[in-house]
Chains A and B, each alone.
Chain A
Amino acid sequence: MIAFTDVYYQYEPEGITALHDVSLEIAEGEHLALIGPNGCGKTTLLQHINALLLPGQGTVTIDGMDTGAEANHGAIRSRVGMVFQNPENQIVGMTVAEDTAFGPENLCLPPAEIRERVARALEKTGIADLASRNVETLSGGEKRLVAIAGVLAMRPRYIAFDEPTAFLDPAAARRILEVIDKLYGEGIGIIHVTHNMAEAALASRVVVLNRGHISLAGTPEEIFSRIDILKEIGLQLPPAAELMLMLKETGLAVRTDIVRMEDAVCEIHSLFNKIKKG
């Protein structure tokens, strides 16, 4: 379990408080979406999970290991993988396989095990055919998958994604989300920072961060029913929830607690069936 207890964090020398009294627990195997406006502290919170940032006050523990103790950093970084927003700043190797091997090489694993881990990670992310490709020749979406494979090769228990679909075309974004869903299915804890509400709706729990505070936390259905608070913060509803609200406003008797598009389709389909029969 990842546990934040009364965490404060201030950026020096600007003196900007990025996290203010944050307490949060993330269970192993959970898919948590972290949403909030720009500058609300999402990335700062994420970097605390990997011990890249240490709390000014309070504690962050990963499976009971305090990030404040430097001796724990190695074990913490093996358990929590981090996929940064810009893959260009994360890729170290020149070829896909070389970059994927970077983490296991740091773990001083034997060459045969490194190659086995690399092969498995590339297979899981669906880029095994790109193994010997120069990373400079890849598309933005493929580079993201390389970044994910590099983290997977470390065999982490949790993976923190910082806006993994930002700047990607819909097909590439869908591919990334499919990989995330697959990893969640395998029991890896997912911490997913996003500005895309449709992506947040896919999580098992959503946390809304605003000005360094946790404003709301709950299931996607609970969070996206708090329309007033979300609007006040400057956040929107997922397209499915928006659609249901609009249909309701036109006088149709539809549920408004729907946040995922496939649920919305089911609801509209059953409504049509009712109208046909009636």
Chain B
Amino acid sequence: MYSAGSYLTGNTLLHRLDPRVKLLATVALSIIILTAQPLFLLIIFLGLLLTAFSAGIRPLLLLKAVKPLRYFIALIFLTHVFFNGSSVAGEFNFFWFSLSGLQTATKVTGQFICLIMAAVILTMTASPSQLVVALKYFLYPLRFLRVPVDDIAVMIILALRLTPLLVAENKRIEVASQARCYNLGKSGYRTRIKAFIARAAALLLGVLGRADHLAAAMEARRYQRGERTSAVELRFAGYDFIVLLFLFCFFVISMALNSSLR
């Protein structure tokens, strides 16, 4: 079962782009997003949708990748609405909210959604191996400080591999519970919290078992800490330079535009 957010096979321009350029673009875009004004943020949002579409990522799939963070997004929005503003514009039970709070909440939530979208487009168009090789390239100087760059790279590969497995495992436990007539329905919060803890424990035990098996399988394929090579060879093509140049210009213009809009 494919989980939204993980690598989506394709041969689009974005897929073929050097992973170092993609990684740099995501970092640059994140800086632009965090400093963007609302109107510019909307343009970035539409630009991200267009980029995703050009890479063969349907908007629904992008939405699915953002979905797991919906409660967190809602929390960010509500926190800013009720606790970040000056003049009172309305009341909701005991809470009051302001127009400036509502504005900030919209902006911050928009920034957060755009950040997730940028990261998801990156992980959906660059395979973990490509990402890791690109990351290793940028982390290379840390080797001289005895930072275990290769071990960090394998940890990232495993984290990217295990995340969708965790989601699938959680779904399996949920379905298995429902098959045995487990339905929280209108249960109270206490029951729900207990159920959550029970599921988290089952999930953790399953993951520990799986990690154990995976470690044995990795050992069987001669994995050991330290240096490894990679099948991925980084090569800068002509369009990588063009994209990098475009990225640089976009970054400079965006920063200038943002400061003039402020």
Contacts and interface: CB of A to CB of B under 8 A. Distances in A.
A118 B2 contact: no
B232 A111 contact: yes
A92 B153 CA distance: 13
Interface residues of B, number: 36
Given A77-B220, A92-B161, A94-B160, A133 B3 contact: no
B129 A93 contact: yes
B231 A115 contact: yes
A176 interface: no
Given A108-B227, A111-B231, A133 B220 contact: no
A50 interface: yes
Contacts of A110: 229
Given A105-B228, A134-B7, A136-B3, A88 B220 contact: no
Interface string A39-69: 0000000010010100000000000000000
B230 A105 contact: yes
- Assign chain A's interface to a size class: 35 or more
A12 to B, nearest CB: 15
Nearest to A106: B222
A95 B231 contact: no
A97 B227 CA distance: 20
Nearest to A52: B216
Nearest to A102: B221
A104 interface: yes
B255 to A, nearest CB: 34
Interface string A70-106: 0000100110011010101111111101100111111
Interface in B164-182: 164-165, 168
A137 B224 CA distance: 29
A108 B165 CA distance: 28
Contacts of B218: 92, 102
Contacts of B257: none
A107 B9 contact: no
Contacts of B231: 97-98, 101, 104-105, 111, 114-115, 118
B217 A90 contact: yes
7 contacts: A84-B213, A93-B129, A101-B231, A106-B224, A107-B222, A111-B233, A154-B221
Given A50-B220, A98-B127, 13 more contacts: A77-B220, A81-B221, A84-B213, A86-B213, A90-B217, A101-B129, A101-B231, A103-B222, A106-B224, A107-B222, A111-B233, A114-B230, A133-B9
